[in-house]
Structure 1
Amino acid sequence: MCHTHHTMTSTRDRTSQHSSEMSKYNNYKLRPTSRNASPGQQKQRSALPTSKPRENGIIRRNFPIGELKISPLFVTRIIAAAMAIRFLIITLIWFTIFLTYGFCTQCPDDWLYYRNNCYQFFNESKSWNQSQASCLSQNSTLLKIYSKEDQDFFKLVKSYHWMGLFQTQANGSWQWEDGSTLSPNELTLVEMQRGSCAVYGSSFKAYTEDCSTLNTYICMKKAV
């Protein structure tokens, strides 16, 4: 009995020792390996940001070198500045036109003001004498070209209009209603047909015309 008990005790001790060794072995296998990082690796890891920096709720991203960074606010400001400049330019243009070509109180209603003179284009067709009388009734005269610089907008006229230029019977010279003689610097006179009156065409050219022919006409007078 004692031998048997001793044998059983020895067997139990071996079994217990074996179980203890197996448990240590298993614990050793299941334990996660932990390696101590070198100081350089720890410094490198600590330098890495754990999350993207935020300022006022906005994530700031680091763009690579050479990549253009344009914010929507910058684009909006550029557009607003361009529109403001465009508005200023348009305003200056209209102001200049008003001062140069403007319709103002210096001329009667529906008359065109241009460089201290008032002009009116009449669409009704009349003879030269009738056109002259119509202008006189409105305290004006038929058109006179006295300066290509001061009347440069007349180069754009395309149709024919009676003007205050006629041929005198005394010596056949051409003169204006105010008695001044036609100067080559004022306009070019082109003989189209026999006549002692002239119509204005375009590009500072006048054309001879029979005075009884019906044409539209232009009146002018000094602005007050």
Structure 2
Amino acid sequence: MSESHNYKSKLINDATSTPWQKKRPTLTTNIHGEKQSPFFLARAIAVAMGIHFIAMLMISSVIVTNSSFNQPASISLNESYCGPCPKDWICYRNSCYQFFSESKSWFQSQASCISQNASLLKIYSKEDQDFFKLVKSFHWIGLRQNSTVGTWQWEDGSILSPNQLTLVDVAKGSCAVYGSSFKGYTENCSTPNTYICMQRTV
């Protein structure tokens, strides 16, 4: 009688259980003896694949970035070409420059530049010669006052323009030294100063 009762109870329990209860996964035991769901392995594989995907994505990004940086840049000769300069001269935006540390008068400095097929520095454009704003010491430049008309002229005879250089009158003199930030200062032409020579390459 008790066996028949137990059998009926089992049938009733089976009939009233929900589908979820029937399909509930059984627990498995891992190597450490801990009970785990069979979905644990699937989750672990999914996480590993996600990490692998992210790593591959990062490697691909690095390769693409490096290859784009290593592409030869297209060079416009008019904007970027800097022609041949004498040895140890600085080549910058179509001109060659040399800073001489020896101190000479303006005329001696001019003669030294001429002997090297160059002239004293002329400021043509603040944009094209922007590195001169960083110069801190005083150097002779190719700017001199015309004694007959009183105008300031470059060696090539062109008149000083306000957008080239700001000239500050600090000493009795008809020659100019370059200071910094596109400022020139009047100076006695016989005063010894260092100087900057310049060659235009175009």
Deviations 1:101-133 (A, max 9, x none): 88x662222222222211122222222122111
Q: 1:41 to 1:198 in 2, by over 3 A?
A: same
Which shows bigger deviation, 75-84 or 147-156?
75-84
Displacement after TM superposition at 1:80 (Å): 3.6
Displacement after TM superposition at 1:169 (Å): 2.0
Q: 1:79 to 1:144 in 2, by over 3 A?
A: same
Corresponding residue number in structure 2 for 1:76: 55
8 Å CA contact 1:101–1:113 kept in 2: the answer is no
User: Which residue, 121, 143, 149 being the options, matches 1:165?
Assistant: 143
User: Which residue, 192, 198, 209 being the options, matches 2:176?
Assistant: 198
User: Which residue, 45, 49, 59 being the options, matches 2:25?
Assistant: 49
Deviations 1:147-173 (A, max 9, x none): 222222222222211100011222222
Q: Secondary structure at the match of 1:110?
A: coil
Q: Secondary structure at the match of 2:103?
A: strand
Q: 1:223 to 1:86 in 2, by over 3 A?
A: same
Corresponding residue number in structure 2 for 1:120: 98
Structure 1-normalised TM-score? 0.65
Displacement after TM superposition at 1:79 (Å): 4.3
Deviations 1:76-109 (A, max 9, x none): 34544664576578768xx69xx8788x662222
Once residues 163 and 219 of structure 1 are traced to their aligned partners in structure 2, the CA distance between those partners, rounded to angstroms, is 8
8 Å CA contact 1:161–1:218 kept in 2: the answer is yes
Displacement after TM superposition at 1:190 (Å): 0.1
Within the alignment, does 1:60 sit opposite 2:42 as a pair? yes
User: Which residue, 103, 117, 131 being the options, matches 1:153?
Assistant: 131
Q: 1:127 to 1:61 in 2, by over 3 A?
A: same
Q: Secondary structure at the match of 1:38?
A: helix
Once residues 213 and 60 of structure 1 are traced to their aligned partners in structure 2, the CA distance between those partners, rounded to angstroms, is 87
Q: 1:160 to 1:73 in 2, by over 3 A?
A: farther
Q: Secondary structure at the match of 2:43?
A: coil
Displacement after TM superposition at 1:198 (Å): 0.5
Runs of 4+, deviation exceeding 4 Å: 81-92, 99-102
Displacement after TM superposition at 1:220 (Å): 0.8
8 Å CA contact 1:101–1:112 kept in 2: the answer is no
Q: 1:176 to 1:164 in 2, by over 3 A?
A: same
Q: Which amino acid aligns with 2:141?
A: M
Q: Percent identity?
A: 53
User: How many equivalent residue pairs?
Assistant: 183
List alignment gaps of at least 5 residues for structure 2. Answer: 27-36
Q: How does 1:177-188 map to 2 (within 5 A)?
A: 177-188=155-166
Once residues 113 and 16 of structure 2 are traced to their aligned partners in structure 1, the CA distance between those partners, rounded to angstroms, is 102
